[in-house]
Amino acid sequence: AQKITQTQPGMFVQEKEAVTLDCTYDTSDQSYGLFWYKQPSSGEMIFLIYQGSYDEQNATEGRYSLNFQKARKSANLVISASQLGDSAMYFCAMREVNDYKLSFGAGTTVTVRA
């Protein structure tokens, strides 16, 4: 069964606007971590933000925030004030406490328009 679901294959956003990337996950573990990674066209995987399942506050890192809704098993990424350099593929991922690996979603391509 798919552990991470990203339903938006591609999105366009106007420069300086905010964009929300959807992510839902499936786990029966109580302890897990949720992540967002960015992959620009150059190909590297850049870690953006982390949310632990026991964290009560939503994680924020600069212009990135993670909207964590535990009951709905959702971990949406919000990018505020989009910049042209934000154009990339974004992956949601999860690491369960009894598992060493990250399981990734299919990714969402974001294109920022000037």
Partner 1 sequence: DTAVSQTPKYLVTQMGNDKSIKCEQNLGHDTMYWYKQDSKKFLKIMFSYNNKELIINETVPNRFSPKSPDKAHLNLHINSLELGDSAVYFCASSKGEVGYTGELFFGEGSRLTVL
Closest separation between CB of residue 16 and partner 1, Å?
27
Residues that bind partner 1 (CB under 8 A): 31-33, 35, 37, 39, 43-45, 47, 50, 52-53, 89, 91, 95-97, 100-104, 106-107
Nearer to partner 1, 16 or 54 (CB): 54
Closest separation between CB of residue 10 and partner 1, Å?
11
Nearer to partner 1, 10 or 16 (CB): 10
Nearer to partner 1, 20 or 109 (CB): 109
Exposed, middle or buried: residue 101 (CB in 10 Å: 0-12, 13-18, 19+)?
A: exposed
Radius of gyration of the chain (CA): 14
Three-class DSSP category at 95: strand
Closest separation between CB of residue 72 and partner 1, Å?
20
The residue behind tokens 């990203």 is: 6
| 104 Cβ neighbours under 8 A, 6+ residues apart | 4, 37, 91, 92, 93
Closest separation between CB of residue 95 and partner 1, Å?
5
32-39 and 88-96: which strand pairing?
antiparallel
